[in-house]
Amino acid sequence: MTLAFGPRDTCMTMARRKKSTDGFALVRMLAATAVVVDHAVPLSGNGLGLLPQQRIGINLGAWAVGAFMAISGYFVCQSFERDPSVWRYCTRRILRIVPALAVLLLLTVLVLGPVATTLSTSDYFHDPATWEYLKQDILIFPQDYWLPGVFEHNPHNAAVNGSLWSLPVEVVGYGLVVVLGVVGGLRHRWITIASAMTASLIVERLITRQWDAGPTILMVPSVALMQMLPIYLYGMALYLYRDKIPLTWWGVAACVGIELVFFGTPMVEVTRGVTLAYIPLAVGHLMPKWVKLPASVGMASYGVYLYGFPIEQLLVSHGVRNQYHLMAYALAITLPIAMLSWKLVEEPAMNFRSTLFRWARSARARTRIPAPRKPVSDDAAGEPVHQR
């Protein structure tokens, strides 16, 4: 799920994106694929995740989401710095995430729900929870994960689309960019670093149970929310300090070393904000040309992230319980749907932003034209005055 872009989203930028290759396209698609693959294990009832996270302390899906957050923080910060208009920034962000989300939710409620529910179609549509799901999730805060009777016999029946939990985190990240931009945190970049370090220390306090934030905040798991915010902030900081902190393979190796040194200690939750931000950004920048994907393919990773979970749940409800079969079938179905989402929904929404900004510029230009001066009569001025 990448929700980040570079600078101003113009038609020219879009044309270049269609033709160009992008190192981040592969990173984004790998991260989205990792989320789908990791979800296949608990959704099929075969464990907590693909990796033995209780033994090695690594949750593959969470790391993939962290990679998305780092990339988003980097490029969204770049976007705001290049065009610090708050309303244009908010418009870009809304039109990036909401259209695809709205289509997903409509398909979920109106198509998938009636097919997968154990209720009658009439009871399903008359249940207030059906429309509450649509309302809550389009507003993003707070999230709602349950539709009446849908997937209730699945091993994991608590969520129709559990992937949506990260969207509030992403929106909070968007808000941090605006706040730091307005207070000078992008201009005085040490403020962003200080914010990231503070967030990391809060995570350490949560992990060591020195502070209790409760199980959820706005229906988002509290620890997961706080774990992702430092990564987002460090992604921003890596953009702001791009002249001081090079992105190199040696840096990637150093991050891996830091992970090994602090493995199994609460301190790893502090260092991981840095390492998990640095690694995907460095890999995206350093990706060899021969493995780069078209940038448009990378943009479809958002669709993979949105559709993967409910497609897996639907397959499980139809009897697919082998986790590896579930991974393969889900990816084979999800990838084409994600590309359709990009081509039919997300890309047109991005193009519309440029049109919207042109309309706004034209409207401002019209309001700035001074009213024409009335000509002075011959009697009053002694000679005619002509309008220019």
Rounded to the nearest 5°, which phi and psi values hold at 75?
A: -80, -30
Separation of alpha carbons 276 and 65, rounded Å: 10
Separation of alpha carbons 234 and 196, rounded Å: 6
Which sign, positive or negative, has the C-alpha torsion 164, 165, 170, 175?
positive
Structure tokens, 306:
């949105």
pLDDT at 20: 53
Q: Which residues of 183-209 are buried (b: 16+ CB within 10 A; e: fewer)?
A: eebbeebebbbebbbebbebbbbbbee
Q: Where are the beta strands (DSSP E) in 187-331?
A: 216-217, 220-221, 293-294
The contacts of residue 121 (CB under 8 Å, 6+ apart) are: 114
The contacts of residue 385 (CB under 8 Å, 6+ apart) are: 375, 376
pLDDT at 218: 64
Predicted TM-score (pTM) of the model is 0.85
Separation of alpha carbons 223 and 74, rounded Å: 22
In the block, residue with structure tokens 């000509």: 375
Q: Locate the domains of the chain by residue range.
A: 11-364
Contact 33, 335 (CB under 8 A): no
Element (H, E) at 293: strand 293-294
Work out the angle at residue 235's Cα, subtended by the Cα atoms of residues 195 and 355, and round it to the nearest 5 degrees.
110
| Angle of the 190-207 helix axis to the 268-286 helix axis, nearest 10 | 130
Separation of alpha carbons 85 and 102, rounded Å: 25
- Local confidence pLDDT in tens for the 388 residues of the chain: 444 433 334 343 444 444 455 789 999 999 999 999 999 999 998 887 777 665 556 788 889 999 999 999 999 999 999 999 999 999 999 999 999 999 999 999 999 999 999 999 999 999 999 999 999 999 988 888 999 999 999 999 889 999 999 999 999 999 999 999 999 889 899 999 999 999 888 887 887 777 777 777 766 777 788 889 999 999 999 999 999 999 999 999 999 999 888 887 778 878 889 999 999 999 999 988 888 888 888 889 999 999 999 999 999 999 999 999 999 999 999 999 999 999 999 999 999 988 888 887 787 777 765 555 655 444 444 444 344 3
Contact 51, 209 (CB under 8 A): no
pLDDT at 361: 78
Contact 89, 80 (CB under 8 A): yes
pLDDT at 373: 60
Closest by CA to 137, choosing from 149, 147, 145, is: 145
Separation of alpha carbons 188 and 180, rounded Å: 9
